[in-house]
Amino acid sequence: MLRFIMQRVLLMPVLLVVFSVIVFALVQAPPGDFLTSYAATLASSGSSIGETELQALRQTYGLDKPIYVQYLYWMGNLLRGDLGLSLEYQRPNAELIGERLVLTLALAAFSFIFTWIIAIPAGILSARHQHGPIDYFFTFFNYIGVAIPNFMLALILMWLGFSVLGISVTGLFSPEFEQAPWNLARVADLMKHMWLPAIVIGISGTARLTRVMRANLLDELNKLYVVTARAKGMSEWKLVLKYPVRLAINPLISTIGWYLPQLFSGSLIVATVMNLPNIGPLLLRSLISQDMYLAGSLLLIYAFLTIIGTLLSDILLALADPRIRMRG
């Protein structure tokens, strides 16, 4: 078991190096650099910047160097734990990302909990009452949940909140807490705002998970040991919950690995629509303004979260199923 985990952990740096090359190539790919898009922004707002000043800036930021030098420079800083400087905000990237990353993780965790709390009971109920009204209700909900893009759901909820209730459901904090230091009142305020985006992000995952849980449980319920237990007069609920549910949940654990990364990147679009202060809108902004070190660092963070998610599920799966450990 320990060897298995070690193997996976040792593979991580290799993967990250490969990803860093891909990511750097991606943020370098757009024609021009940050300064050309900066000059364009200035020009559109009426002011302008001289060619000599642009050259000087280009030298200070090292944008005139060959690409591999820029990459090595970026990597060198990364290895020392320095995420570099945002060209647009003129602040260290670590500072910009810090709190947003915490909020990204908190939001993902919330959505995850919501997904499991809803999906498992819904799946059980659906399977227990197969072809009954409850089952049809959940099946209908599942189809809708998968079909509706989550930014659409966010838009609809925002619109309803605005036009029916007269409240704004954007953001994660009330205005008075936005810049406040962390304390209990701020956490409470965060909780008050967090549940809605968490539901929006989690809804399609909930729909999928419910479907899988239903199918898995249906397979189990037809097995002979269930029939035997029923014949011996075991109560119906105990009969379902004691063994079949435990067996049906097992395969779901393996899906956590691809579900967690989906939560991280899925929150990106919703965050942009609902104006949530997580790393999503920051990435979007940096990509558009070609703020390449910020964009690169953020993409690498997403990649890192993805790897961690996969690793977590590998470990969970190994814990749950001894056969996988043997092969690993």
Partner 1 sequence: MEESLDTAPLLKEAIPEDRVSVASNAQLVWWRFTKHKPALVAMVVLFMFFVVLLFPAFFSIQEPELTDAKLAFIPSQSLHLFDGAKLRPWVPTVVGKRNPTTLRMEWKIDASKKIAVRFLSQGYPYKIFGLIPTRLHILGAVRADEQNRIYLLGTDRLGRDQWSRLMFATQTSMTIGMVSVALSIFLGVLLGGISGYFGGFVDLVIQRLIELLQSLPTIPIWLALSAALPRDWPPTRVFFAITIILALIGWTTLAREVRGRFLSLREEDFVLSAELVGCSRMRIILRHMVPTFSSHIIATSTLAIPVMIISETSLSFLGLGLRPPAISWGVLLQEAQNIQTLALAPWLLIPGLVVVIAVLAFNIVGDGLRDAADPYGK
List interacting residues with partner 1 (CB under 8 A): 15, 18-19, 22-23, 26-27, 29-31, 143-144, 146-149, 151-152, 155-156, 158-159, 162-163, 168, 170, 258, 261-262, 264-266, 268-269, 272-273, 283-284, 287-288, 295, 298-299, 302-303, 305-307, 310
| Residues whose CB is less than 8 angstroms from the CB of residue 45 and which lie 6 or more positions away in sequence, other chains included | none
**CA gap 146, 294 in Å, rounded:** 32
- N-terminal to C-terminal alpha carbon distance within the chain: 9
Assess contact for 296 and 306: CB atoms under 8 A: no
The neighbouring-strand residues paired with 92 are: 85
Q: For residue 147, which amino acid is it?
A: A
What number of residues does the chain have? 328
81: tokens are: 């734990």
Q: For residue 201, which amino acid is it?
A: I
Q: Is 92 helix (H, G, I), strand (E, B) or coil?
A: strand
User: Cα-Cα-Cα-Cα dihedral of 101, 106, 109, 111, to 10°?
Assistant: -110
Furthest-apart CA atoms within the chain: distance in Å: 89
* CB closer to partner 1, 134 vs 146: 146
The CB-of-152 to partner 1 minimum distance in angstroms stands at 5
* CB closer to partner 1, 118 vs 201: 201
